[in-house]
Structure 1
Amino acid sequence: MTRYEDDEFALLRENADEAGIPWGGQPTVRRVSTDVGGGQKASALLWGDEPPKVVFLHGGAQNAHTWDTVILALGLPALAVDLPGHGHSDWRADRDYMAWRAAEAVDPVLRAWAPVADAVVGMSLGGLTTIRLTAIAPDLVRRGVIVDVTPSVGLRQPSMTRAERGTTALVEGPASFATFEEIVKLTAAAAPHRPLSNIRRGVLHNTRRRPDGRWEWRYDRLSGGDGFATLWEDVSAAKVPLTLVRGGASIFTADEDAEEFVRRSPSAQVHVVPGAGHSVQSDSPLPLAAIIREALARS
């Protein structure tokens, strides 16, 4: 793990090789920070030397590195944001990390680093945040790609089994662990279809070692809000092209949710990625990259 601790981008070639993406050399990518108010800072990964064409917002209990393989596949300048309370971004004292607060924090990040991006891609919590951004910052969202979530997700989760929730169920488990391998084992059990190299890399990006030697997640426990249903009004009001991507093996978005999405945004396109779970970007990064390219081509 020393190589990663010295350089968080040292594993990108492993991402490329695992997905079969031709390796043209280490890409230009660096970490940037933005003051988002209230003494808080948000961190993000800035890919490329040109202004970002695509912005990526991850799901709850994830971080910006979840998009590494998708961004490598696209080969476009991009900005991947660590949402508040995640990755290298600051934690909030009130622990309110829901879409409304997240969108307020993401707004200044996009204005600083990606004011003319062609699309915002958000998965799960990041997808709900993208929906909210269409309402509070429509000038920053020219196209929206929403990955495996709708404002009805709060109705789906209570009835899901732990297996159906996959890695999202880990947020209800221990907050710290004696060893790194203990976390890898738990994560692999929650996502048995992913290669172990994928699991280890994800855990490396999403954990940190404490001064006492124990390992902990690199995210705060989520809190705030009683549901997301009011975000349906933002879907209805959105004036930009929207794309909804569903994981074919995920039940986070039901058929009726997708139908409601299209009813409220008649021009929206819906794609299903066969075999992908809730984290489509981890399970099927190349098909997702192809869908994003298609969305970018929409007028």
Structure 2
Amino acid sequence: MAIDSSEFSYLPAQADALGVPLPTVQRLTLPLPDGRSVSALRFGTDAPRITLLHGAGLNAHTWDTTALALGQPLLAIDLAGHGDSAWRDDADYSPRTLAADVVAALDAWTSGPQVLVGQSLGGLTGAAVAAARPDLVAALVVVDITPGIDVSAGPAALREFYAGPTDFASRAELVDKAMALGFGGTRPETERGVFLNTRVRADGRVEWKHHFARLAAAALAAHDPGTAAAPSVLHETGWDDLAAVAAPVTLVRAERGFVSAADAEQFQQRLPDARVVVLDATHNVQETAPRDLAALVASAVTAGI
């Protein structure tokens, strides 16, 4: 039997560990008018009712375990500059810019309003989508981000992780570096994350799929540590976007994440009709509390029936 070395090779073991059936999963690609393309994963064969948007430096596969736990038809979109979606020449990865690609994808691949779930940068992007196109969004779930916090500088370890070369001799070299700096969990988990977030170029060198690593390295080379971890995200428009969302809004605060209790309180004051839910998780809630997050998303789908 041939060994499955595709991007879906990890899914059977993940489904088995969760005790759930393995769904049909396929890669979708949509050409855009400007010559770029947006890519996504489609779980299931029926029309999706859930769309997932990842955070900065991640990709659609960060949602794999949550998607399996949900067991419902859904889309997980690679934001521009991430995963298999094209990089932007202008390096503009602000939420409203990213939202335009998401809207194009939803128009092409969905047939009804979505429970739109966005983590970190994906959460601000989701708010921009819901504000601009309320017909596409049945409910908005914002995961561990508010416009009131700035995560663009990032921790020192993350800056060190992106320092130095932008390409590597092997994925094993990146796994070693990630584990040495305390990223990832077990080695198999780190290997999976590196495999799904890198590509092998024609010259045999390995590079990150996301544009942020290249931009971060350039910022470090220019001795600008304040922007080294990721390009600056324009948060000032976030509150305006959230205020314009007509659909029900839920904020998920990770107890060990970026949103503090004070941040959540500010969110609640600005959006008094929003719901705030606290989960025992790190910033990447979809990876550290996938069952709990899946249950919350499923309840949003049920409420919209």
Match in the other structure for 1:137: 133
- Report the CA distance shift for 1:169/1:237 in structure 2 as closer, same or farther (over 3 A): farther
3-state DSSP of counterpart to 1:42:
strand
Tell me if structure 2 keeps the 8 A contact 1:235–1:261. no
Map Cα deviations across residues 247-296 of structure 1 (whole Å, 9 max, x no partner): 2111x21222211211222221112221x211111112111111212222
Instruction: Decide which of 228, 231, 236 is 2:243's aligned counterpart.
Output: 236
CA contact (8 A) 2:20 2:69 kept: no
Q: Which residue among 266, 277, 290 is the counterpart of 1:285?
A: 290
Would the alpha carbon gap of residues 226 and 243 (structure 1) be closer, same or farther in structure 2, given more than 3 Å must change?
closer
Cα distance change of structure 1 residues 60 and 192 upon mapping to structure 2, 3 Å threshold: closer
- Picking from 254, 273, 278, the partner of 1:272 is 278
Q: Is the 8 A contact 2:52 2:75 kept in 1?
A: yes
Q: Secondary structure at the match of 2:57?
A: coil
Aligned residue pairs total 287
Matched, 1:54 2:61: no
Residue equivalent to 2:8: 9
1:153 is displaced (CA, Å) by: 2.5
The one-letter code matched in structure 2 to 1:260 is Q
List alignment gaps of at least 5 residues for structure 1.
none
1:175 match:
166
Counterparts of 1:271 and 1:173, CA distance in 2? 39
Q: Of residues 73, 77, 85 in structure 1, which corresponds to 2:73?
A: 77
Write out aligned runs for 1:163-242 (5 A): 170-171=161-162, 174-191=165-182, 194-221=185-212, 227-242=234-249
Deviations 1:41-76 (A, max 9, x none): 101111111000100111111111111110100000
C-alpha contact (below 8 Å) 1:245/1:273 kept by paired residues: yes
CA distance in 1, matches of 2:209, 2:55: 13
SS, match of residue 273 in structure 1: strand
After superposition, give the CA deviation of every residue in 1:202-235 in whole Å (9 maximum; x if it has no partner): 1111001122322110111267656312210111
2:284 maps to a residue whose letter is S
Cα 1:173/1:117, change in 2 over 3 Å:
farther
Partner of 1:66: 62
Confirm whether residue 162 of structure 1 aligns to residue 156 of structure 2: yes
Q: How far did 1:196 drift?
A: 2.5
TM-score (norm 1): 0.88
CA RMSD of aligned residues (A): 2.2
Unaligned runs of 5+ in 2: 216-229
Aligned-pair distance for 1:23? 4.1
State which of 37, 41, 45 in structure 2 corresponds to 1:45: 41
Letter in 2 for 1:209: V
Q: Which moved more, 1:218-227 or 1:57-66?
A: 218-227
| Equivalent AA in structure 1 for residue 12 of structure 2 | R
Query: Which residue of 1 is the match for residue 268 of structure 2?
Result: 262
Code of the residue aligned with 1:215 in structure 2: it is: V
Secondary structure, in 3 states, of the residue corresponding to 1:34? strand
Q: Which amino acid aligns with 2:114?
A: D
